[in-house]
Amino acid sequence: MAHNLNKAHLNESKPVYGVTKFSDMSPEEFKKIYLEDLQSPKWNLKENNHTPMDRIKKLKIPQKVDWRLKGIISSVKNQKSCGACWAFSSVETIESMYSKEKGTAVPNLSVQEVIDCSVNNDGCLGGDTCQALLWLQRGKPLVEQTSYPLTDKNQVCQILSSASLSVHVANYTCMHYVGDENNMLTMLATVGPLTVTVDATTWSNYVGGIIQYHCSAFNNHAVQIVGYDLTGDVPYYIVRNSWGTDFGDNGYLYIKIGENLCGIATRVSSLMVKV
């Protein structure tokens, strides 16, 4: 019922806000629990956040891409009160790219391993997506969740002598596409899902539809972009969150393309895995 309602909201294109599981929290409480977990450096960005729509319309890419339909997106996870969005969003894209490159079912890789072991990050107290990918690219293999289960809390890093599967990051990018979302869309269409940082301050009461305004770029959260749609009056990104399936549209939300809304083009990572 809720899923159908959210689809109706999306068809209307306008964002819809209402009562959610976060509604009994004050803005300060919500921010403290869910939005103080990103430790990304500040970049000097272009003053113009807008990407001209005529530049986007000229792109020679599909008008619609949804990587969920290709079977390379794992199930929506819930970080709960663990401030490790940076780890969840990084692992999600590694899962997706492994499935895409290997042509196999999407694995369920260990977010907890990244929370516990990633250097220059602080586990559930916060971290940086690019630092996590750098650590993984330098040789640390990522194992399956069955070998290193998720607890959503800080633990001592476990050194596993063997695992049924280990995935290595071959290389990654960490860039901004502010004013250049046409290139970001090309990356999303031709390479695969992306890990990005965002400003999720106004998301606590999000129910459905396409976010088009009232969303700043003081980034404090990290998510995965799994697709886009350029066919309607309001083009949008398909964004996967890590607040459980009872958030938004079964764990997903939609953000208008072309204006760096919610800071979505500020810090963007793509990656390749070793196969």
Residues with catalytic function: 85, 221, 241
DSSP 263: G
| DSSP class per residue in 164-223 | S-EE-EEEE--B--TT-HHHHHHHHHHT--EEEEE--TT-TTEEESEE-SS------EEE
Q: CA triplet 107, 126, 269: central angle to 5 degrees?
A: 55
Q: What is the Cα–Cα distance from 249 to 257, expressed in whole angstroms?
A: 18
All residues at 6 or more sequence positions from 138 whose CB lies less than 8 Å from its CB, including other chains: none
* Amino acid (1-letter code) at residue 267: R
Instruction: Count the neighbouring beta carbons within 10 Å of the beta carbon of residue 248.
Output: 26
Give the residues across from 167 on adjacent strands: 142
Q: What is the Cα–Cα distance from 216 to 263, expressed in whole angstroms?
A: 7
What is the three-class DSSP state of 94?
helix
How many Å is the Cα radius of gyration of the chain? 18
Q: Which of 208, 204, 205, 200 is nearest to 3 (CA)?
A: 208
